[in-house]
Chain A
Amino acid sequence: MDKTLNYAYYPGCSLHASAGEYDLSTRELFNLLGVGLTEVPDWFCCGATPAHNVDELLSLSLCAKNLELAEQVDGDVAVACAACFSRLKFTQHTLLEDETKRRQVEKAIDAPARLDGKVKHLLEILARDIGLERLASAVSKPLSGVKVACYYGCLLTRPPDVPNLDCVEAPTIMERVVEAAGAETVPWSHRMECCGANFTLSRPGVVIQLSNAILDSAKSSGADCVVVACPLCHGNLDMRQKEIEGVYNAEYGLPVFYITQLLAVACGAGAEKSGLGALMVDPFPLLKVKNIL
């Protein structure tokens, strides 16, 4: 176990519900890499999309309180969900820039706001803290021959100057991580487009149209599968894929993995501990053809 690397893990609501396999595979991957991951005690919802549309002070306070809770654990905050990541980073950014809001929030949470604590997405931790070399050396089942379309969606890098994960419009961090696991990444056009996100419930027609464009682009680029780092993206591309195929009379059959699932498989976690059974588009034929499982 690497004693120097330990993270305060903020899973977020999705990872305890519909994205359980993201949580499972994240824990397993960190376990295999020998990196500590301690769940923040008593964490609660970051407010996600609804809170900041209803009440800005509420949304900032929810995140600020969670960041305060995270102080109980040694290490930087590790976030898996793109929306949680965005909200936590946004809160730090806003409170740093706006003294008045910071005071209001500090009154609401009855504690000083934690503005300098590092909030990191799993991709940053994998690519920079753990490092690509160490990641590559942990790979026991290289993903040779798998062509991966890395899908970032809207929130991982945007808006400019807030998450500072990578280049805002042309990031490469996910590709580098996936390539470290031995897979091949494809250049494609819709890496940064919106999947429709939480319109999936209120305006499914919009989501089907947008997600179709993404799947269509990934398929025509020659990818065998799509990799995501966001529960909502996953829901739209994986869960709705069959429906989209029906509407557009298309056949994609593209398994959609969480980044940690694919890496856990590559590090030899096996299907069960990587949560592959939870995927709607069956990933087993692909992984078998490529002799990975």
Chain B
Amino acid sequence: MSRIGVFVCHCGENISRTVDVERVAAEVGKLPGVALATDYKYMCSDPGQGLLKKAIAEQRLSHVVVAACSPRMHERTFRKAVESAGINPFLCEMANIREHCSWVHDNREEATEKAIEIVGMMVERVKRNRALPAITVPVTKRSLIIGGGIAGIQAALDIADAGHEVVLVEREPSIGGHMAQLSETFPTLDCSQCIMTPRMVDVANHPRITLHSYSEVEHVEGYIGNFQVTIRKKARSVDEKKCTGCGVCIEKCPIRKIPNKFDCNLGMRPAIYIPFPQAVPNTPVIDRESCAMFKSGKCGLCKKVCGPGAVDYEQEDRLIVEPVGAIVVATGFDLYDITEKPKGSQIKGYGEFGHGRIPDVIDGMTFERLASASGPTGGRILRPSDGREPKQIVFIQCVGSRAREKGISYCSKVCCMYTAKQTMLYHHKVHDGQAYVFFMDARTPGKSYDEFWRRSIEEEEAVYIRGMVSRLYQKGDKIVVMGSDIAVGVQVEIEADMVVLATAVQPRSGADILAQKLGISYDKYHFYSEAHAKLRPVECATAGIYLAGACQGPKDIPDTVSQASAAAAKVMTLFAREKLEREPIVARVREAGCVGCFYCRKVCAYGAIEEKEIRDRQGNLIKVVAYVNPGVCGGCGTCQATCPSKSVELDGYTDEQIVAMIEAL
């Protein structure tokens, strides 16, 4: 016979104003199995919890119902309290008479009646609860980091420095990401490469970091603490272990006119190449689509000149499996490409800018490569069309961003600042030039950001025009920029030598495919979704997977680094435990009834359903039934709703309990 204790909370006046709590306690006290029913002003307070614990001891209570607020608010509080008084925490339930009753009703009489019924239902449910043992799962203390930009590098170094092994996967031949492409960074104008490349080298030399460059995540299995990740190491055609990075192969390659993606296609590279001189690893890769050996079988020069014999035309993609306990996703961003009309997309493109077909209309990243000392022009700002120095340059902000009618409504966050920086770099390099900026607003929230923006206007003589540009067209060797100046209310036309578009920040291409492999959610633009915008900003809703950098939303370098360190801290918190304890509300299969149809496996979103063989004493197979892996089960109950033979049930939500609750009404 159960001895249930019911504790009715006043919640100050939140409940007692509308619900006669004393009457609720008196009525519920009459129910069979209830040993004690009482009320108190604040059950969650220290004296309230004391009252609960004291009653458990004195009245030898077997189950507890707290009639108060939503379980989302205080279930954990009261379960801890009963646990400390010696009762299994899952024998304590909450009856929500605040959100579901007092807050939404005015009539005291009716609200009280309803509260009595709500509490009565929970009494019937808790009676049928089982004491559930905690489920523990082991933790593999290695982490996978996807993306080797500044976010991935920061997270990798933090976790590795804390003493844990890290596997870093990068899609490109070198780590470094977009930050390695930048010239100088706001708001301090320090050289991006100078602060970036030492960190890249730290990654390469770290004893606890395994770097897989030119590799992609192929497949992910498992759950928090126990992921199995399959990584595809794409064929580099150069043996990383043998290669010394001497660069002779690159010098000798006869195919030299391939646009270099790292330089935004401004410079050229050979078919065997490293993307940039400071690349990590400093191992070349053969671009098989351009290489003469792969196209026609006639060349083989790089193999001939390679002293250590590292060039290997026969190399194939390799699949490797890495067991890890946590995953940090840091796949970063791409810039919105306006050079062609997007196909079959919600994004509408920029036909009024000729879809970017004018050669001297470039995007912000291309300008960074022009301004970079290690870029294709050695840091001189020159027009891609004729190599002349532009004397009038126009920067256009919010190209794609904040343009609902074009399909993107968000702000890309970094463009106001980098445009201000680029006007400065331009002014430093072209003294007799004039920079104009078309802008909607200048958004400069950040330490020393507004001062920096003001400097571009006051000291570096950039002319800011508030308004948008309606059209760009080529007129002779000039680009006519037609825009509006809404501060003065006039149309403006500028004949520019070069136009720089601050195009929107978008998630890296293929972000959606990776998300599907990982089982994490993303928004309509394919930015990854955090579990809670404010309180869990670096965690995914999927346990054990964390986010860092621009893959979650547009971010500048300081924010990216902060988030990466935060994600690393979350991983370390996870790794601080030997075993993970998780809520034991999971589904269980009644093997006698299970017919092995495995409909449950089809609907299980967590992949928790496994097969289990039932054998007789002689070892003969009788049948195969479903088995729920408690480490993986998410406790959603979909299997229970699906099972045709009613043979799988979720603890705490069994059919028997639900029926008993209904009958209590």
Task: Check B405–A160 contact: CB distance below 8 A.
Answer: yes
Given A167-B341, A170-B341: A192 in contact with B352 (beta carbons within 8 A): yes
Task: Check A170–B354 contact: CB distance below 8 A.
Answer: yes
Separation of A160 and B405 alpha carbons in the complex (Å): 8
Separation of A192 and B348 alpha carbons in the complex (Å): 17
Task: Check B474–A169 contact: CB distance below 8 A.
Answer: no
Q: Does A168 contact B (CB under 8 A)?
A: yes
Separation of A192 and B472 alpha carbons in the complex (Å): 12
Task: Check A170–B352 contact: CB distance below 8 A.
Answer: yes
Task: Check B480–A168 contact: CB distance below 8 A.
Answer: no
User: Chain A nearest CB: distance from B295 CB in Å?
Assistant: 33
Separation of A168 and B407 alpha carbons in the complex (Å): 14
Q: Does B473 contact A (CB under 8 A)?
A: yes
Separation of A108 and B177 alpha carbons in the complex (Å): 63
Task: Check A169–B352 contact: CB distance below 8 A.
Answer: yes
Q: Which residues of B contact A220 (CB under 8 A)?
A: 475
Q: Does B78 contact A (CB under 8 A)?
A: no
Task: Check A189–B474 contact: CB distance below 8 A.
Answer: yes
User: Chain B nearest CB: distance from A69 CB in Å?
Assistant: 34
Q: Does B402 contact A (CB under 8 A)?
A: no
Separation of A185 and B473 alpha carbons in the complex (Å): 17
CB 8 Å contact bits of B332-345 with A (1 = contact, 0 = none):
00000000010000
Which residues of chain A (148-195) have a CB below 8 Å from chain B? 160, 167-171, 189-190, 192-193
User: Chain B nearest CB: distance from A173 CB in Å?
Assistant: 13
Separation of A169 and B480 alpha carbons in the complex (Å): 16
Task: Check B355–A170 contact: CB distance below 8 A.
Answer: yes
Separation of A172 and B474 alpha carbons in the complex (Å): 18
Separation of A217 and B609 alpha carbons in the complex (Å): 69
Q: Does B351 contact A (CB under 8 A)?
A: yes
Q: Does B90 contact A (CB under 8 A)?
A: no
- Which DSSP category, helix, strand, loop or mixed, fits chain A's interface? loop
Separation of A29 and B341 alpha carbons in the complex (Å): 33
Picked from A168, A189, A193, the residue with its CB within 8 Å of the CB of B475 is: A189
Closest residue on chain A to residue B475 by CB atoms = A189
Separation of A190 and B350 alpha carbons in the complex (Å): 16
Given A160-B405, A189-B480: A169 in contact with B475 (beta carbons within 8 A): no
Picked from A160, A169, A192, the residue with its CB within 8 Å of the CB of B350 is: A169
Given A167-B341, A170-B341, A189-B480: A160 in contact with B348 (beta carbons within 8 A): yes
Separation of A190 and B471 alpha carbons in the complex (Å): 10
Separation of A74 and B471 alpha carbons in the complex (Å): 41
Closest residue on chain B to residue A193 by CB atoms = B471
Which residues of chain B (457-496) have a CB below 8 Å from chain A? 471, 473-475, 480
Given A189-B473, A189-B475: A169 in contact with B405 (beta carbons within 8 A): no
Picked from A170, A189, A190, A217, the residue with its CB within 8 Å of the CB of B351 is: A170
Task: Check B480–A167 contact: CB distance below 8 A.
Answer: no
Separation of A220 and B476 alpha carbons in the complex (Å): 9
Q: Which residues of A contact B348 (CB under 8 A)?
A: 160, 168
Q: Which residues of A contact B341 (CB under 8 A)?
A: 167, 170
Separation of A189 and B495 alpha carbons in the complex (Å): 14
Separation of A244 and B620 alpha carbons in the complex (Å): 100
Which residues of chain A (210-267) have a CB below 8 Å from chain B? 217, 220
User: Chain A nearest CB: distance from B352 CB in Å?
Assistant: 4
Given A160-B405, A189-B480: A167 in contact with B475 (beta carbons within 8 A): no
Closest residue on chain A to residue B353 by CB atoms = A169
Q: Which residues of A contact B354 (CB under 8 A)?
A: 170
Q: Which residues of B contact A160 (CB under 8 A)?
A: 348, 405
- Which DSSP category, helix, strand, loop or mixed, fits chain B's interface? mixed
Closest residue on chain B to residue A168 by CB atoms = B351
User: Chain B nearest CB: distance from A278 CB in Å?
Assistant: 32
Q: Which residues of A contact B471 (CB under 8 A)?
A: 192-193
Which residues of chain A (131-163) have a CB below 8 Å from chain B? 160
Q: Which residues of A contact B355 (CB under 8 A)?
A: 170
CB 8 Å contact bits of B347-375 with A (1 = contact, 0 = none):
01111101100000000000000000000
Separation of A168 and B406 alpha carbons in the complex (Å): 11
Closest residue on chain B to residue A161 by CB atoms = B405
Separation of A220 and B478 alpha carbons in the complex (Å): 14
Separation of A192 and B482 alpha carbons in the complex (Å): 13
User: Chain A nearest CB: distance from B499 CB in Å?
Assistant: 14
Which residues of chain A (92-111) have a CB below 8 Å from chain B? none
Closest residue on chain A to residue B479 by CB atoms = A189
Q: Which residues of B contact A171 (CB under 8 A)?
A: 351
Q: Which residues of A contact B475 (CB under 8 A)?
A: 189, 217, 220
In this complex, which of A167, A170, A192, A220 has the most chain B Cβ atoms within 10 angstroms of its Cβ?
A170
User: Chain A nearest CB: distance from B180 CB in Å?
Assistant: 34
Separation of A189 and B354 alpha carbons in the complex (Å): 9
User: Chain B nearest CB: distance from A170 CB in Å?
Assistant: 3
Separation of A192 and B470 alpha carbons in the complex (Å): 11
Separation of A167 and B351 alpha carbons in the complex (Å): 7
Separation of A170 and B338 alpha carbons in the complex (Å): 13
Separation of A168 and B352 alpha carbons in the complex (Å): 9
In this complex, which of A171, A189, A193 has the most chain B Cβ atoms within 10 angstroms of its Cβ?
A189
CB 8 Å contact bits of B385-405 with A (1 = contact, 0 = none):
000000000000000000001
Q: Which residues of A contact B480 (CB under 8 A)?
A: 189
Separation of A55 and B405 alpha carbons in the complex (Å): 27
Separation of A170 and B340 alpha carbons in the complex (Å): 11
Which residues of chain B (71-99) have a CB below 8 Å from chain A? none
Q: Which residues of B contact A189 (CB under 8 A)?
A: 473-475, 480
CB 8 Å contact bits of B562-584 with A (1 = contact, 0 = none):
00000000000000000000000
User: Chain A nearest CB: distance from B646 CB in Å?
Assistant: 48
Closest residue on chain A to residue B350 by CB atoms = A169
Separation of A90 and B352 alpha carbons in the complex (Å): 22
User: Chain A nearest CB: distance from B400 CB in Å?
Assistant: 14
Given A160-B405, A189-B480: A169 in contact with B473 (beta carbons within 8 A): no
User: Chain B nearest CB: distance from A83 CB in Å?
Assistant: 22
Q: Which residues of A contact B351 (CB under 8 A)?
A: 167-171
Q: Which residues of B contact A192 (CB under 8 A)?
A: 352, 471
Q: Which residues of B contact A190 (CB under 8 A)?
A: 473
In this complex, which of B341, B351, B352, B480 has the most chain A Cβ atoms within 10 angstroms of its Cβ?
B351
Q: Which residues of B contact A193 (CB under 8 A)?
A: 471
Which residues of chain B (263-316) have a CB below 8 Å from chain A? none
User: Chain B nearest CB: distance from A158 CB in Å?
Assistant: 11
User: Chain A nearest CB: distance from B355 CB in Å?
Assistant: 6
Q: Which residues of B contact A167 (CB under 8 A)?
A: 341, 349, 351
Closest residue on chain A to residue B405 by CB atoms = A160
Separation of A189 and B358 alpha carbons in the complex (Å): 11
State the 4 A-B residue pairs at the shortest beta-carbon distance, nearest first: A169-B351, A170-B351, A189-B473, A169-B352
Known: A170-B354, A170-B355, A220-B475. 14 other contacts (CB 8 A): A160-B348, A160-B405, A167-B349, A167-B351, A168-B351, A169-B351, A170-B341, A170-B349, A170-B352, A171-B351, A189-B480, A192-B352, A192-B471, A193-B471
A-B contact pairs, 17 of them (CB 8 A): A160-B405, A167-B349, A168-B348, A168-B351, A169-B350, A170-B341, A170-B349, A170-B351, A170-B352, A170-B354, A170-B355, A171-B351, A189-B473, A189-B474, A189-B475, A217-B475, A220-B475
